[in-house]
Amino acid sequence: MNWPAECAVVIPCRNEEAGIAGLVREVRQHLPLVLVVDDNSEDETAARAAEAGAQVVRRTENPGKGAALKAGVTAALARRCDWVMTLDGDGQHRPEDIPAFLRRAEETGAALVVGNRMHRAEAMPWLRRGVNRWMSRRLSELAGRILPDSQCGFRLINLRAWTGLVLETDHFEIESEVLVAFVVAGHRVEFVPIQVIGRGRRSHIQPVRDTWRWLRWWGRVRRGLRPDRRRAATGGH
Q: State which fold the 3-234 domain adopts.
A: Spore Coat Polysaccharide Biosynthesis Protein SpsA; Chain A (3.90.550)
pLDDT of residue 122: 59
Please, what is the Cα angle at 112 between 109 and 115, to 5 degrees? Answer: 115
pLDDT of residue 217: 73
pLDDT of residue 100: 98
Type of residue numbered 183: V
pLDDT of residue 196: 81
Size of the chain in residues: 237
pTM of the model: 0.86
Which tens digits make up the pLDDT trace of 30-73?
999 999 999 999 999 999 999 999 999 999 887 788 999 999 99
